[in-house]
Structure 1
Amino acid sequence: MLLSPFAAPGRFFRGNLHTHSDRTDGALPPQEVCRRYKAEGYDFISLTDHFIGLWDYPIVDTAPYRDADFTTLLGIEMHSGAQENGELWHLLAVGIPADFAPSHSPGFQPVPGQESAPELAARARDAGAFVAIAHPHWSGLTMADARSITAAHAVETYNHGAHSLSDRGTGMPMLELLLSEGRALTLIATDDAHFKGPDAFGGWVMVKAEENSPEPLLAALKSGQFYSSQGPQIDGIWFEGDRVRVACSAASIICVQAAGNAAEMVYGEAMTTATIELGRLAQSPWLRVTVTDRAGKRAWSNPFWPGKL
């Protein structure tokens, strides 16, 4: 069985879901941010400036920067309430409506009487947004924090800015623990680019949709029709009961991960296909695939649930 998103109609579009401009704490104006991503070969971005009172709760209108080859999804990075460590929450909302009502979030410190992060996430999802837990490692999230965001579609499991500038770019351990507790989540790789350091063009999503426009892209994100990458390409994943077959760009490692510490992999030079026998992995409720190239760059499939195929 060829799995989604590879079995879905349409083609893949490359996009970044976490980016900032000088409307908040980024270095570049929105038009230049969009120009740079288009010049780097991206098909779309979501400009997710900080949705706080310090900058008058911006939802930046990026529609003027769309054209026949490049589009944008309205987005914000939301902040409201304190995590267990006392820090302010960070959540992504991609595809947010332009009239989304602000929370009471005057700045980057929690204040009394704020909407809680779970409430804000649920309100954004109800408004039609794709909601993700941002940079769990960088934020210092606990599992109790993560469990509380029941409205999330995804976990940001690679944040290029957090990786490059503070070596805290992963969210994979938290995602896997949530998966093993039964949460049906996807994973995203992003930049979190501010253009003040080497924080751009390092992680993206490849979304399968029938056209490069906001509505089909947003629908595909919500339904998990995408994979994430730092460079490698995944061309197909087939689930064949006791094995998984993968087609990809040239790779040195192709790995299937499962719950706990279970994983099976193959090694080689410039591999473009591999068949992996699942063995004990067949008992796992979920599986995912990682493709690694000779430079150490990775591509990650979304988790899939064999018992539901």
Structure 2
Amino acid sequence: MPTSFFTTPGRFHRGNLHTHSTGSDGLYSPQEVCSRYQAEGYDFIALTDHFVGLFDYPITDTTDFRNSQFTTIIGAELHTGVMGNGNLWHLLGIGLPLDFPPPHAPHFQSVDGSETAASIAQRARDAGAFVAIAHPHWSGMSQADALSVTAAHAVETYNHGCVVDNDRGEGFLILEHLLNQERRLNLIAADDAHFNTPDHFGGWVMVKTRENTSEALLAALKAGTYYSSTGPEIHDIRFTSDCIEVDCTAAATIVVQGKGTSTATLHGKAMTRESLSLARLRNSPWVRVTIVDRTGKRAWSNPIWLDG
């Protein structure tokens, strides 16, 4: 992931990439969901209803709910295949065509002989979508499961609905297993909002573009020119010969993680511009940055590969 995008022209747009409506099992209509996110200050959402036969394989068309201040990306939560634990796969396809062909997924149980997750992820990517592996902790996903999908752009490492409802909302371990196998994936934070619990407005992506259009946002997601957050903001990340410099909103802790147990950590009060040594990370091919504010809310950079 490049870091130069932090200072290039444009602005960061706040968006949620995992949301449900009455098109599948959500509480509110697509229009109401879009209205609520806009009222909360979001610039865009992807409405990702469950792409199963139970709901007639919906790819919910949200184009009518766009306006000069708010846009949408067409998407769905894709289900097919079976993981090692017997559970059905959950993948996010953001930027799908409305006529994307469904798999044989009549309900939320796995079906013998159905299309594999690797296949539908590749089909979605080939159709122009940004593909993310959804809530790996909640799914009980193994490293072998995750390695089987080669077409994903990202792993959903923070799922607010899963955090709220079952405390299984993180996916950093799966992401790092993949990174350590030279899979150059990014990460996303999202809601998985259904609005029948406090599962909304908790995790988001901040995407840097010149324009708030679905086309520009989708291109930026694929390029990795974004970061993820539950509150704090990252303003810039820079490298010197032996340090990483981070500009952010007031932080209590800044952590730079790398392969294995390698980290650089700084604790303080209201830190907004700090430099951390990379000495302990010199053997890691990648690093990522976590910002923690005094309330415990976090922001995460995408992995940064040190070979450029």
TM-score (norm 1): 0.98
CA RMSD of aligned residues (A): 0.9
Structure 2 CA distance for aligned equivalents of residues 178 and 115 of structure 1: 22
Name the structure 2 match of 1:13. Answer: 13
The AA in structure 1 aligned to 2:224 is: G
Is the counterpart of residue 60 in structure 1 residue 60 in structure 2? yes
Per the alignment, in what secondary structure is the counterpart of residue 104 of structure 1?
Answer: coil
Name the structure 2 match of 1:194. Answer: 194
C-alpha contact (below 8 Å) 1:6/1:237 kept by paired residues = yes
Cα drift, residue 258 of structure 1: 0.6
Structure 2 CA distance for aligned equivalents of residues 243 and 89 of structure 1: 40
Name the structure 2 match of 1:152. Answer: 152
Cα drift, residue 201 of structure 1: 0.4
Structure 2 CA distance for aligned equivalents of residues 81 and 5 of structure 1: 37
Is the counterpart of residue 41 in structure 1 residue 41 in structure 2? yes
Structure 2 CA distance for aligned equivalents of residues 151 and 4 of structure 1: 25
The AA in structure 2 aligned to 1:86 is: G
C-alpha contact (below 8 Å) 2:91/2:133 kept by paired residues = yes
Matches within 5 A, 1:246-257: 246-257=246-257
Name the structure 2 match of 1:76. Answer: 76
Structure 1 CA distance for aligned equivalents of residues 142 and 86 of structure 2: 11
Runs of 4+ in 1 over 6 A off after TM superposition: none
Matches within 5 A, 1:216-227: 216-227=216-227
C-alpha contact (below 8 Å) 2:62/2:72 kept by paired residues = yes
C-alpha contact (below 8 Å) 2:91/2:131 kept by paired residues = yes
Cα drift, residue 87 of structure 1: 0.7
C-alpha contact (below 8 Å) 2:81/2:88 kept by paired residues = yes
Question: Once the two structures are superposed, what CA deviation does each residue of 1:126-184 show, in whole Å capped at 9, x if it has no partner?
Answer: 00000000000000000000000100000000000001100000000110111111000
The AA in structure 1 aligned to 2:43 is: D
Question: Once the two structures are superposed, what CA deviation does each residue of 1:236-258 show, in whole Å capped at 9, x if it has no partner?
Answer: 00011210000000110011111
Matches within 5 A, 1:55-204: 55-204=55-204
The AA in structure 2 aligned to 1:216 is: A
Name the structure 2 match of 1:284. Answer: 284
Structure 2 CA distance for aligned equivalents of residues 12 and 247 of structure 1: 15
Per the alignment, in what secondary structure is the counterpart of residue 283 of structure 1?
Answer: coil
The AA in structure 1 aligned to 2:76 is: I
Matches within 5 A, 1:294-309: 294-308=294-308
The AA in structure 1 aligned to 2:56 is: D
Name the structure 1 match of 2:215. Answer: 215
C-alpha contact (below 8 Å) 2:255/2:265 kept by paired residues = yes
Cα drift, residue 110 of structure 1: 1.1
Structure 2 CA distance for aligned equivalents of residues 269 and 240 of structure 1: 24
Cα drift, residue 235 of structure 1: 0.3
The AA in structure 1 aligned to 2:15 is: G
Structure 2 CA distance for aligned equivalents of residues 198 and 135 of structure 1: 17
C-alpha contact (below 8 Å) 1:8/1:225 kept by paired residues = no
Name the structure 1 match of 2:262. Answer: 262
Q: Any stretches of 5+ residues in structure 2 without a counterpart?
A: none
C-alpha contact (below 8 Å) 1:5/1:224 kept by paired residues = no
C-alpha contact (below 8 Å) 2:264/2:280 kept by paired residues = no
Question: Once the two structures are superposed, what CA deviation does each residue of 1:15-50 show, in whole Å capped at 9, x if it has no partner?
Answer: 000000011111111111000000000000000000
TM-score (norm 2): 0.98
C-alpha contact (below 8 Å) 2:155/2:175 kept by paired residues = yes
C-alpha contact (below 8 Å) 1:21/1:33 kept by paired residues = yes
